[in-house]
Chain A
Amino acid sequence: QQQVKQSPQSLIVQKGGIPIINCAYENTAFDYFPWYQQFPGKGPALLIAIRPDVSEKKEGRFTISFNKSAKQFSLHIMDSQPGDSATYFCAASGAGSYQLTFGKGTKLSVIP
């Protein structure tokens, strides 16, 4: 049973566009929701994270929106650049476990 569902699987946007990646979770005990960014041939790296006591968090051009009642969270990339082309993973953890449950990933391509 997949506990974190991520969509879309792939996404193509033009430079300057605002790609949005969505995730939904099932376990109401989750209380930490990070997003990881992975470039080809590299390991994933933490991009931004949120806890459910806030509905939005911004870091530079990256924003997480969180809807606790719907059990959904999303990543928005403002003014996207070709350098943002990567695979993005949402994840969740909580309920006393530090293990992360990852979504299946979204491959983002930003074309010039």
Chain B
Amino acid sequence: IAGITQAPTSQILAAGRRMTLRCTQDMRHNAMYWYRQDLGLGLRLIHYSNTAGTTGKGEVPDGYSVSRANTDDFPLTLASAVPSQTSVYFCASTRLAGSYNEQFFGPGTRLTVL
């Protein structure tokens, strides 16, 4: 089934632990994004990648890192989790072409840091 998959679906993590959220898309989209969604704050961009091998910082990058070794995968790593990183994380992708760049979102990962 074409689209974006994220893993895990949910996770409870102890503060200070390292965690990698996985994201895979099979649409051959060149751009990928990571957002966090918090009540009352909407969707905030953490990191993005316009093409394999490149990444950039979004609005709230601190405490997170990403890599883009190939077109399909865009993992998000929390090196040392803190409670303020409790959130729902969404991965998205788009084909950068033309004026309308519809972003397709994954189902999300609900992360709780205790």
Contact A31 B99, beta carbon cutoff 8 Å: yes
B84-110 interface code vs A (CB 8 A; 1 in, 0 out): 000000101010100111111111100
B21 an interface residue at 8 Å Cβ cutoff? no
Closest to A34 in B: B102
Contact B105 A43, beta carbon cutoff 8 Å: yes
A57-95 interface code vs B (CB 8 A; 1 in, 0 out): 000000000000000000000000000000001000100
Report A-chain residues with C-beta under 8 Å of the C-beta of B94: 98
B74 an interface residue at 8 Å Cβ cutoff? no
Q: A43-B90, A43-B106, A44-B90 are in contact. Are A49 and B100 (CB under 8 A)?
A: yes
Count A/B pairs, Cβ under 8 Å.
52
Report A-chain residues with C-beta under 8 Å of the C-beta of B105: 43-45
Report A-chain residues with C-beta under 8 Å of the C-beta of B45: 99-100
CA distance A102 to B111 in the complex (A): 21
Closest to A93 in B: B101
Report A-chain residues with C-beta under 8 Å of the C-beta of B43: 44, 89, 102, 105
CA distance A22 to B99 in the complex (A): 23
CA distance A44 to B107 in the complex (A): 8
For chain A, the bracket of interface size reads: 20 to 34
CB contact between B41 and one of A42, A93, A99, A104 (< 8 Å): that residue: A104
A15 an interface residue at 8 Å Cβ cutoff? no
Among B41, B45, B92, B100, the most chain A Cβ lie within 10 Å of the Cβ of B100
Closest to A49 in B: B100
CA distance A51 to B98 in the complex (A): 12
Shortest C-beta distance, B22 to chain A (Å), equals 15
CB contact between A98 and one of B4, B50, B58, B104 (< 8 Å): that residue: B50
14 contacts between A and B (CB under 8 A): A9-B40, A43-B92, A44-B43, A46-B102, A51-B99, A51-B100, A99-B33, A99-B48, A102-B42, A102-B43, A102-B44, A103-B42, A105-B42, A105-B43
